Structure 1
Amino acid sequence: MAAADTYRIATYATPLSRDGPGLLLRDILKAEDSQIATSQAVIAHIAPDVLVLTDFDYDLDGVALNAFADTFGDLFPHRFALRPNTGLATGLDLDRNGRLGEPRDAIGYGRFAGDGGMAILSRFALSEATDLSGLLWRDLPGATLPEGFYPPEVLEVQRLSTSGHWIVPVDLPDGPLSLMAFAATPPVFDGPEDRNGLRNRDELRLWQVVLDGGFGPAPDSFVIAGNANLDPADGDGFSDAMADFLADPRLQDPLPGLDTADWPEEGGPGNLRVSYVLPSADWRVADAGVYWPAPGAGLLGSDGLAAGPHHLVWVDISR
């Protein structure tokens, strides 16, 4: 009997956002940016079959994404990105600080439209996606919005997704896989109303609603991948929501490592687990890991931060 095919699915919160539109493409083409070079080296070293990138600047024609993917030769012939909610202007004072047009007045924090979006690179063909990014926060079943904080005109435009929630079918040789990709807001940078903490929790809850069949038939065979910006035990935010999600019997937690990001201990949250690759229960997990080599070893420099605080998370699965 032939051995089952094994697929490596990964997510990486790469530091591939820049201060303005077009600058990421400039830096990719110049090939002089050490963060980009280190990120590329890590991706090539892990060589995933399907990769969800978060914090990757979006442009309408995918020029930067194609330029980045081309640096890997024929590893990722299939590329996908949709316009994210990050930087999507509202014309309203979403953070209620009395000023308009600031990054926190966009649907998702962003200095310009497309700032720090998401992208998918794949060895395998990608079919038509289901995009849930336009869902208004108030329309999520069981949504919890900051009480009394948003005026009616904001509720009319405030989407739930900070960047996006996509369900992208991946055409694997032995059958389809539904890739459920997202990148949630950090549960900080707000006030006593806790709007970011509440939103972060509901961005995670959206996947539970999807699995409950709240937006049509639930995916049969899936992988949830991306940056939840939420640790199940430490840091800010509703950690219990992440712990409960990881315990959902419809998915499995490969436990690739306890930490996926390295922030300062003083003045910061320290090491946290915030990025995840979570296969549905029908998959067999062959291996999993977080690319976090020992200090001074590997591709991430002497302090392990040559590509920023986040580390690539990968899981090997087979049917």
Structure 2
Amino acid sequence: MKIRHLVAATAIAALGGTLLAAPAEASSGWFGTKVRFATFNASLNRAAAGQLVSDLSTPDNAQAKKVAEVVQLNRPDVLLINEFDYVAKNVAADLFRKNYLERSQNGAKAIRYKYAYTAPVNTGVPTGLDLNRDGNPNGPDDAYGFGFFPGQYGMLVLSKYPIDKRDVRTFQKFRWKDMPGALLPDDPATPAKGDYYSPEVLKIFRLSSKSHWDVPIEIRDKTVHFLVSHPTPPVFDGPEDRNGTRNADEIRLMADYVTPGRGSYIYDDKGHRGGLKRGAKFVVAGDNNSDPFDGDSIPGAIQQLLDAPRVQDPKPSSAGGTEAAALQGGANVGHKTDPKFDTGDFTDNAPGNLRVDYVVPSTGLYPLDGAVFWPVASSPLARLNDTSDHHLVRQDIWIPRW
């Protein structure tokens, strides 16, 4: 196997210029397949249930047209869209594909995804308990994940390659307290530790604010596990830091899932236990709401994933992120993360722009070209920078045949 990998690496290096200059569509050869994976928090969430279906039922929703154009310009083969409201039976997904992605937007080439996967998420699902202690147990902050209705801020996976739906694993109902050493939030007004949530709450409280999915993608004769999630923002709480601690443990769940020997405690929604099979190939993607050095997440939160033994971090970048940080100033001036890696364009005074969206492959896969879609101000495409407060992140990956 070492000789084969050396041959593959040598071939990829020799062909690198050709591969990186090739069209965005996937390309295959004797050695393997080049596939573009991407994540995009597209802000296609809506304020009320049913509104997204209504908006996508015609091909003229301005925001959806811009989202589709960004996708068409970047042309990922496998794509995660965060903040796409969950609607059963792929109704919203089908409308988005038919009315937007499969129609040219502003001259961009239409794109077709034959396969789609979506599933229920925790946002807006009521617990009936007063999680934020405001005296009202029925607010959006009292749901398993913040939301005004079930499915708000959901997730959608689109793929040109078959999705093995029989082997998809979801972790929507995994309870926070079942994670060994969980960072349960602490009530600073009491001497006890990790006691912000009562035993009654912890008995039912789920870790994932949306869900964690393991979506197997069949690429030629190989399976690549597309591991996606959207941890809660580490803000909008108090000194107990209930969102910050949850964010860190949501990231940890994915890191433990892909690390041999660390995921035995994890159970999926069908009751099956254990992490990803040893040696399996994967790509982790999503809006993790955590920058390596800046912002409000707990120090080291995203490093749990980026430093996991089987994870590679190719660090896609953009010139637009560097330019925006310089022009906007504010909190960006003191940031430690190089702004060329930023993916989110947030409030200038705090937290500033951050790297929060990630596409990271496993060892055994070969990262090629990657980028953050953040056009500079002088580009005609800069009009797309306000499509969302996040920018699409893409990563080309070479998948060897063995």
Alignment TM class, shorter chain as reference:
over 0.9
Match of 1:264 in 2: 347
Q: Percent of pairs identical after alignment?
A: 39
Query: 3-state DSSP class of the match of 2:215?
Result: strand
Alpha-carbon distance change, 46 to 237 in structure 1, aligned in 2, over 3 angstroms: same
Pick aligned residue for 2:134 from 89, 97, 106? 97
Q: C-alpha deviations, 1:240-275, integer Å up to 9, x for none?
A: 221343122311001002100101212x31110001
- Contact map agreement 1:38 1:300 (CA 8 A) in 2: no
| Distance in 1 of aligned mates of 2:135 and 2:246 | 21
Match of 1:245? 305
Using the TM superposition, name which of 274-283 and 25-34 deviates more. Answer: 25-34
Paired residue secondary structure (2:251)? helix
Map 1:205-216; keep pairs closer than 5 Å.
Answer: 205-211=252-258, 212-214=262-264, 215=266, 216=274
Contact 1:15 1:35 in 2 (8 A): no
- Contact kept in structure 1, 2:254 and 2:305, CA below 8 Å: no
1:138 maps to which residue? 177
Matches within 5 A, 1:151-300: 151-211=198-258, 212-214=262-264, 215=266, 216-219=274-277, 220-257=280-317, 258-266=341-349, 268-300=350-382
Aligned to 1:314: 394
Change (3 A) 1:296 1:111: farther
Contact 1:233/1:243 (CA < 8 Å) preserved in 2?
no
Does the 8 Å CA contact 2:376/2:382 hold for their aligned counterparts? Answer: no
Give the whole-Å Cα distance in 1 for the aligned partners of 2:138 and 2:63.
29
Alignment of 1:62 onto 2:62? no
CA distance in 1, matches of 2:239, 2:352: 22
Task: Note if 1:19 corresponds to 2:47.
Answer: yes
Query: Is the CA contact 2:86–2:118 (under 8 Å) kept in the aligned structure 1?
Result: yes
Post-superposition offset of 1:217: 5.0
Amino acid in structure 2 at the alignment position of 1:218: L
Give 1:141 deviation, angstroms: 2.1
- The answer to which of 222-231 and 241-250 deviates more is 241-250
CA distance in 2, matches of 1:104, 1:2: 52
TM-aligned CA deviation for residue 209 of structure 1:
1.9
- Higher relative CO (Cα under 8 Å, sequence separation at least 6) belongs to 1
User: Using a 3 Å threshold, how does the CA distance of structure 1 residues 217 and 85 change in structure 2: closer, same or farther?
Assistant: closer
Please state whether the residue corresponding to 1:150 is helix, strand or coil. Answer: coil
Deviation at 1:228, TM superposition (A): 0.5
Distance 1:103 1:176 in 2: 38
Distance of 1:77 and 1:153 partners within structure 2: 44
- Deviation at residue 5 of structure 1 after TM alignment: 1.2
Query: TM-score by structure 1 length?
Result: 0.95
8 Å Cα contact 1:11-1:51 kept in structure 2: yes
Question: After superposition, what is the alpha-carbon deviation per residue over 1:176-224, rounded to whole angstroms, capped at 9, x for unaligned?
Answer: 0011110000000000100000000000000122123424252410010
The structure with the larger Rg is 2
Q: Over aligned residue pairs, what C-alpha RMSD do you find?
A: 1.5
TM-score normalized by structure 2? Answer: 0.76
Q: Which runs of 5+ in 1 are unaligned?
A: none
Question: Is the strand fraction higher in 1 or 2?
Answer: 1
Q: Which whole-Å CA distance do the structure 1 matches of 2:293 and 2:380 have between them?
A: 28
Amino acid corresponding to residue 210 of structure 1 in structure 2: Y
Q: How far apart, CA to CA, are the structure 1 residues paired with 2:283 and 2:88?
A: 26
Query: Kindly tell me: are residues 134 and 105 of structure 1, through their superposed partners in 2, closer, same or farther at Cα, counting changes over 3 Å?
Result: same
Contact 1:300 1:307 in 2 (8 A): no
Q: Distance in 2 between matches of 1:24 and 1:296?
A: 33
Aligned CA distance change for structure 1 residues 298 and 94 (closer, same or farther; 3 Å): farther
Instruction: Return the letter of the residue paired with 1:118.
Output: M
Q: Is the 8 A contact 2:256 2:275 kept in 1?
A: no
1:47 equivalent in structure 2? 75
Quote the offset at 1:295 in angstroms: 1.4
Equivalent position amino acid for 2:67 in 1: S
Q: Which moved more, 1:285-294 or 1:217-226?
A: 217-226
Any gaps of 5 or more consecutive residues in structure 2?
1-28, 103-110, 186-193, 267-273, 318-340
Deviates more, 1:242-251 or 1:178-187: 242-251
Give 4+ residue runs of structure 1 displaced > 6 Å after superposition: none
Give distance in 1, aligned partners of 2:275 and 2:386: 42
1:110 to 129, 132, 147: 147
Contact 1:186–1:197 under 8 Å retained in 2: yes
1:296 Cα shift? 4.4
Which amino acid is 2:135 matched to?
G
Cα distance 1:99–1:241, how it changes in 2: closer, same or farther (>3 A)? same
